[in-house]
Amino acid sequence: MTAAYVALGSNLGDPRRQVLDAVDALADLPGTRLLRRSRLYRTPPWGLLEQPSFVNAAALLETSLQPHALLEALLAIEQRAGRVRAERNGPRILDLDLLHMAGVQLGGASLTLPHPRIAERAFVLLPLADLAPDLVLPGQGRVADLLAVVDAQGCECLDEGRLAE
C-alpha cells in the first residue's frame, strides 16, 4: 500500500457538493482507503481569471493502485461528475490531480510525480498542508515551506471539518 495525495477542485454547479462527492468516490476506489481529507477552501481562479471562485481540498489515500491506474481512476471520477476538458485552467465541474505518491518519482507525458506545479499554487498547498505540512516533495521542498512563500491572498477556509485519521 502506498500513500497518495490527491487535489480536488470545482467551480461549477455546486462546487462544495462536487468536492465532497468526489471525496466519497475516492473512498470507493478498489484497493484504496481514504485516510483523511483537508478542510475545504474557497480560492480565486488561477490562470483564466474570468471565472467563478473554486472550492478546493486534498485527500490522503492509502492505495494498492499503481500511479497510472490511480490517475485513470481519478479521470473516471471526473468524467462521471460531468467533466468536459474544454480549456486549460478554465471552469470545471470537477478537477482531480494526483499530486504525490510516497516513494514514486515519474516524468512522462501523461503523468509527472510529484505534480510539477504544486509549489506555484496556494489552492493546492493550503489543503495539502492540512494533511502533511512536513511532507517533502522531491525536487520542490517541504509543503509548509512552499506554502510560506506562495501568494495565498483571497483564499478562505470554509470549514474546520476533517475526516477521522
Active site residue: 21, 36, 97, 142, which one?
97
Q: Is 92 considered catalytic here?
A: yes
Residue type present at position 52? P
**17: Cβ–Cβ under 8 A, 6 or more apart, which residues?**
none
Active site residue: 83, 88, 151, 159, which one?
83
3-state SS string for 39-60: CCEEECCCCCCCCCCEEEEEEE
Q: Is 97 considered catalytic here?
A: yes
Nearest-angstrom CA–CA distance, 63 and 70? 8
Positions marked active-site: 83, 92, 95, 97
